[in-house]
Chains A and B, each alone.
Chain A
Amino acid sequence: MTDLYRKEEQVKKEQLQEIITDLTRPMNNTGKSFKIWIGFLLILICAGGIMYFRQLVNGLAVTDMRDIASWGLYISAFVFFVAVSLVGSLISAILTLSGIKWATPLTRIAEIVAVAGLFSALAIIVIDMGRPDRLLNIFVYGRLQSPIVWDIIVVNTYLVISLLLLYLPLIPDIALLRKNMGHKPKWQQKMYKILSLGWQGTQDQFKLLNLSITALMILIVPVALSIHTVTSWLFASTLRPGWDSTIFGPYFVAGAFMVGTAAVVIVMYFIRSQFKFKEYITDYHFNMMGKLLVLTSLLYLYFNINEYMVPAYKMKPLEGEHILGLFTGDFSLMFWLVQILGMILPIILMIFKPFRKAKPIMIISVFIVIGAFFKRFLIVVPTLLHTYLPVQNYPESYQHYNPTLAECTITAGSVAAVALVISLFIKLFPIIPIWETAHEKGISNETINN
């Protein structure tokens, strides 16, 4: 009897060891292509850094933002990053709370995408400031009546919650890393030691951990909704054509779920193909993510129809001018590319199962993500170019906004920063939860702890 038990125990132990070896493989094998990838990202970030230094010296004059279009690529990127970060709450909270099991291996990917997106969102807001040295004034002189102050509060709150929601489920895994990563450099082991909190896997500890995670998962849903709703209010609380809309909140949130899901699909694809994780990130996962993506895209399509159809039916003078600018005017090429390639076509394709296989859906997701970026541009810029008050005596060029090289480089750098944070995280922590995977395979806590 005890023998049988021992044997079973032994099998489980081996199984666990196999899972650990598998899931820590990305941390141990650093291939050449990965180094090239990191080098590439660092070059982009450095180029952005140099351009930012130029901007610090010469001021925002190095951008093409002027009196009329005073928001441009940076703010578009900000809205984009915030949108991407919303997926953290969708996958690790909303899906998990509704008892959807298949999403478990993806929660950490979603959380790190969210955290990385938020870092860049915060950075680009400071980059957009002409006088970043006056950043603290927002706290010293900020008025609670201003949506910008709400935005700052809510983005930072969401960042803290996301970091916690990334960290807490990691604790048991970090304890495992402590035991299995003896060959890593000193600083890394020290980091694991501190972060593992002396995790022993006692019942008390599990109870506290699960309680905290559940509390955060419930908390993050309203906070996530409010972060993007408040971001949309930055626009919607003004009286300008194209922004003066009552559905801006849900419109932004729906769009955010769509682009975030697509971003996670892209990261999933590269993790799977790079580290041969076919067993952990299966076709089934891509299929389900594809369905989720169709759902969120349809929701977004619905809001798009509302957002453009209703003003287009009424054609109030200024609102109509704005709409025509998008439909047939200066921005029409970008507008239709974004709507068709970035939303309608993906929806149609993804309805068919073959397109929800790993590679096709990844390519579709790339379209969606790029489309989403330009969509933010289409929300921010055309409205600004329609001045409300009659203006005079300004150079004709102020009527257009074409991002300068400096803006493009800095924005590209901030996108690269998102990829860099995700890539480095993969090198330092298991991107697929070890402990939860083991649990699902029927390996008990005792086996894991010993």
Chain B
Amino acid sequence: MAKLKISLSIILVIFSLGVFSQSAQWMVSSDNAKKPNPLEINPKNMAVGKNTFSKSCKACHGINADGKGRIQSPSLISETFQKQTDGVIFYKITTGKDKMPSFKAKLKEEEIWSVINYLRVLVNPSAVPPAVDVKLELSADDGQKSITAFVHSLDSTKQPIQDVDIHFYLKRDFGLMRIGEPANNTKADGKVTVNFPENIIGDLDGKVTVIAKVENNFLYNDTESAIGRKWGTALVSGDEKFNHRALWGGRDKSPLWLLFMANGIIFGVWAVIIYVIYNIFRIKKAGKIFIK
């Protein structure tokens, strides 16, 4: 028996050989480690860092960069992590390892440096001034098909605020689609305008919703505002292809041959099963008669 168990375990090991693989540590050369961070810590590139983090890193490393994201990943705010030089962190982000993707091709260098600054600020929030609330208002120009965002202070003076990056989105079925430039900073009058893109399909009436957000900004707290307009092309439903019985049709559009075949088989098989179950009851009944 013992021999048997040993041979069984050997078999298991042999077969599992094909499945697993491991990989090595990060090797950072001293040149790379000493590379200086060219960016200073200021609200403007802080915003770039925060945006980049929430776009590219948050999913894995967690909202607070504490490693509690969707996959097992290291904390980026721990003491041991923060002890590393900017150069080392930069190297790790650009090269990646195992489940940590390489961001060399996906992010610009200054975006990566900004993320590093952002990570530094996360453990040292006093490096930037506290954020304040602002009001965001939207207006639409039907002739130009453009949307203007106006950012002003909360009090009754409505002081316009300059240099706020507004993110514009179009509401789609399953999420938001970014429109406008990568950065849309408000001018001296507190306003910034984006043009509505062409060839956008709206709902059945052609209605679309534009959303503007102040988000991931270090000087101002998050806020958003929405506006609806009939600027899209009306959605045409009832396309001919989907209106008749076909394999790709909906639940009520199964091809007739399939309905007959599948239901015929199901019916035939289950008729026999039900007959057998009925027989079980007959067997039981036959036993009772015998007792009497």
Q: A202's closest neighbor in chain B, by CB?
A: B290
Other-chain residue from B20, B258, B262 in contact with A402 (beta carbon distance below 8 A): B20
Residue A396, interface by CB 8 Å: yes
B55 shortest CB reach to chain A, Å: 12
Contacts of A363 in B (CB 8 A): 4, 7
Knowing A215-B272, A337-B15, A393-B106, the reply to whether A197 touches B280 (Cβ < 8 A) is yes
Q: Is the CB of B279 within 8 A of A341?
A: no
Knowing A143-B250, A153-B266, the reply to whether A334 touches B19 (Cβ < 8 A) is yes
Residue A309, interface by CB 8 Å: no
Other-chain residue from A58, A373, A396 in contact with B102 (beta carbon distance below 8 A): A396
Knowing A144-B258, A215-B272, the reply to whether A333 touches B17 (Cβ < 8 A) is yes
Residue B2, interface by CB 8 Å: no
Knowing A197-B280, A334-B18, A397-B101, the reply to whether A208 touches B286 (Cβ < 8 A) is yes
Knowing A164-B273, A202-B286, A363-B7, the reply to whether A142 touches B251 (Cβ < 8 A) is yes
Contacts of B21 in A (CB 8 A): 402
Residue B188, interface by CB 8 Å: no
Question: Which of A153, A211, A212 has the most C-beta atoms of chain B within 10 angstroms of its own C-beta?
Answer: A212
Q: Is the CB of A397 within 8 A of B15?
A: no
Q: Is the CB of B276 within 8 A of A164?
A: yes
Contact with B along A310-343 (1 / 0, CB 8 A): 0000000000000000000001011001100100
Q: B70's closest neighbor in chain A, by CB?
A: A61
Q: Is the CB of A198 within 8 A of B15?
A: no
Contact with B along A204-224 (1 / 0, CB 8 A): 110011011001100100010
Residue B282, interface by CB 8 Å: yes
Query: From DSSP, what is the main secondary structure of chain A's interface residues?
Result: helix
Residue A26, interface by CB 8 Å: no
Q: Is the CB of A145 within 8 A of B248?
A: yes
Contact with A along B238-282 (1 / 0, CB 8 A): 000000000111110011001100100010011011011101101
**Once bound together, how far apart are the Cα atoms of A341 and B18, in whole Å?**
14
Q: Is the CB of B273 within 8 A of A198?
A: no
Q: Is the CB of A144 within 8 A of B18?
A: no
Residue A126, interface by CB 8 Å: no
Binds B, one of A42-50, A93-101, A116-124, A364-372: A364-372
Knowing A61-B70, A216-B276, A393-B106, the reply to whether A337 touches B14 (Cβ < 8 A) is yes
Residue B284, interface by CB 8 Å: yes
**Once bound together, how far apart are the Cα atoms of A150 and B254, in whole Å?**
13
Knowing A160-B273, A402-B21, the reply to whether A171 touches B283 (Cβ < 8 A) is yes
**Once bound together, how far apart are the Cα atoms of A245 and B250, in whole Å?**
26
Contacts of A144 in B (CB 8 A): 251, 254, 258-259, 262
Residue A303, interface by CB 8 Å: no
Residue B287, interface by CB 8 Å: yes
**Once bound together, how far apart are the Cα atoms of A216 and B106, in whole Å?**
61
Residue B11, interface by CB 8 Å: yes
Question: Which of A145, A200, A202 has the most C-beta atoms of chain B within 10 angstroms of its own C-beta?
Answer: A145
**Once bound together, how far apart are the Cα atoms of A212 and B282, in whole Å?**
11
Q: Is the CB of A150 within 8 A of B19?
A: no
Q: Is the CB of B11 within 8 A of A370?
A: yes
Contact with B along A153-167 (1 / 0, CB 8 A): 100010011001000
Q: Is the CB of A341 within 8 A of B14?
A: yes
Contacts of B4 in A (CB 8 A): 359, 363
Supply 20 A–B pairs (Cβ within 8 Å), ascending by A.
A143-B250, A143-B254, A144-B259, A145-B254, A164-B277, A197-B287, A202-B287, A202-B290, A208-B283, A334-B18, A337-B15, A337-B18, A338-B15, A366-B8, A370-B11, A393-B106, A395-B99, A396-B102, A402-B20, A403-B19
> Which chain A residues have a beta carbon within 8 Å of chain B's beta carbons?
58, 61, 141-145, 150, 153, 157, 160-161, 164, 168, 171, 197-200, 202, 204-205, 208-209, 211-212, 215-216, 219, 223, 331, 333-334, 337-338, 341, 359, 363, 366-367, 370-371, 373-374, 393, 395-397, 402-403
List the 9 closest A-B pairs by CB distance, nearest first: A334-B18, A198-B287, A395-B101, A197-B284, A204-B286, A212-B279, A200-B290, A212-B276, A333-B18
